[in-house]
Structure 1
Amino acid sequence: MTMQTLFKQLLLCALLLNTSSTWAASSQQPATFGHGANHNTGLIGKVDLVIVNKSQASMHLMRDGKVLRRYTIAMGDRPTGHKLQEGDQRTPEGRYILDYKKADSAYYRAIHISYPNEEDRLRAAALGIDPGGQIMIHGQNPNSSLTPDEAQRLNWTDGCIALKNHEIDELWQAIETGTPIEIWP
């Protein structure tokens, strides 16, 4: 085994251990989850954090530690596990930034998630793979024959996070570019 291979394996182990301890420390949900969070319509003002809980297929819009809205989401075909590489059909896990909005998305509207972050790029480099990119929160597939409610019960994206169109409209108004997003397992 070469020194470079050994270094890559040690770096990968360190990254995976760091990710595991980060998730263990943040695995408790805020007490506000499940209390008053619903699908009300109307303006909610600006949010300071978006939390996605993949295992619950949910998105929470937060301000000052309180849930303002809760949405049911659709993800990629393989929702369990962190996105490692281009084409793996997984939604990333970690802390990112909602860094730009795309009004002319093929899926109604889209908000870009800053994946891959530095940790994702280091992990991919250690594994010798392409981490992929272009992970978005977006609306519905205009070519689908499913109703919006039917589509939200399926994981139909390539790793993105899908909302109903009226929900992406609400999110669009509620976030500023630079709003953080946490994606939990």
Structure 2
Amino acid sequence: MKRRIFTLGALAALATSGCSSKFRSYNGPEVTSIVVNKGERRMYLLHHDQVIKDVEFDLGFAPVGHKQIEGDGRTPEGVYFIDRRNPNSQFHLSLGISYPGPADVAAARAFNKSPGGDIFIHGQPNKEKAKGRDWTAGCIAVKNRDIEKIYAMVRDGTPVFLYP
């Protein structure tokens, strides 16, 4: 009898462990663009002109202004695209933003500097806690439950409009 109870408990634990996966499915309307309003700390996932998801976020440690050079802690402003995804990110899950563009590279070179890169929409750190508000090096950080939904909803090539 004890063996049977143990076996049933183990099977229940295995069955529910599948529910905790960070990978979700999405069957709703296509996300045709992402609008990021840095000043309001709000990100909107849109299907044409209809908001289908609204998310709060944190920014880089220097949240005001357009990213100009590597290490400045700023988040880019302008039009970019989702160009990659990282299921093994050190920040739960992450979606890459196509920064730097040609104009960003040219502007940084004018200062004889690198524009930087590796700008993502990502979740919380896997190994430590986020350090208050606006703690990233220029990325857009959301809660893990939000990046799980965003990761499922957004496809590569989706335009991202980043506004001050």
Task: Find out whether 1:74 has 2:58 as its counterpart.
Answer: yes
TM-score, scaled to structure 2? 0.80
SS in 2 for 1:125: helix
Q: What residue is the counterpart of 2:122 in the other structure? A: 138
For 2:129 and 2:46, the matched residues in 1 are separated by 33
TM-score, scaled to structure 1? 0.71
For 2:142 and 2:27, the matched residues in 1 are separated by 17
For 1:46 and 1:109, the matched residues in 2 are separated by 20
- Counterpart of 2:76 in structure 1: which amino acid? P
Q: What residue is the counterpart of 1:118 in the other structure? A: 102
For 1:128 and 1:108, the matched residues in 2 are separated by 34
Q: What residue is the counterpart of 1:160 in the other structure? A: 139
How far does residue 145 in structure 1 lie from its aligned partner after superposition? 4.3
Task: Find out whether 1:50 has 2:34 as its counterpart.
Answer: yes
- Counterpart of 1:175 in structure 2: which amino acid? V
For 1:142 and 1:43, the matched residues in 2 are separated by 28
Q: Deviation digits for residues 17-46 of structure 1, max 9, x if unmatched?
A: xxxxxxxxxxxxxxxxxxxxxxxxx86432
For 2:148 and 2:37, the matched residues in 1 are separated by 20
For 1:86 and 1:159, the matched residues in 2 are separated by 9
- Counterpart of 1:178 in structure 2: which amino acid? G
8 Å contact kept, 2:94–2:123 = yes
Residues 5-154 of structure 1: matches in 2 within 5 Å?
Answer: 44-145=28-129, 154=133
Task: Find out whether 1:172 has 2:118 as its counterpart.
Answer: no
Query: 5+ unaligned residues in a row in structure 1: which ranges?
Result: 1-41
For 1:43 and 1:155, the matched residues in 2 are separated by 32
Q: Report the aligned-residue RMSD.
A: 1.6
For 2:27 and 2:148, the matched residues in 1 are separated by 10
Q: Deviation digits for residues 128-160 of structure 1, max 9, x if unmatched?
A: 2110000011101123346xxxx6x61111111
**Larger C-alpha radius of gyration, 1 or 2?**
2
TM-aligned CA distance change 1:111 to 1:94, over 3 Å = same
SS in 2 for 1:128: coil
Q: What residue is the counterpart of 2:11 in the other structure? A: none
- Counterpart of 2:136 in structure 1: which amino acid? T
Greater share of residues in helix:
1
8 Å contact kept, 1:99–1:113 = yes
For 2:146 and 2:29, the matched residues in 1 are separated by 14
Q: What residue is the counterpart of 2:162 in the other structure? A: 183
For 1:130 and 1:119, the matched residues in 2 are separated by 12
- Counterpart of 1:174 in structure 2: which amino acid? M
TM-aligned CA distance change 1:145 to 1:119, over 3 Å = closer
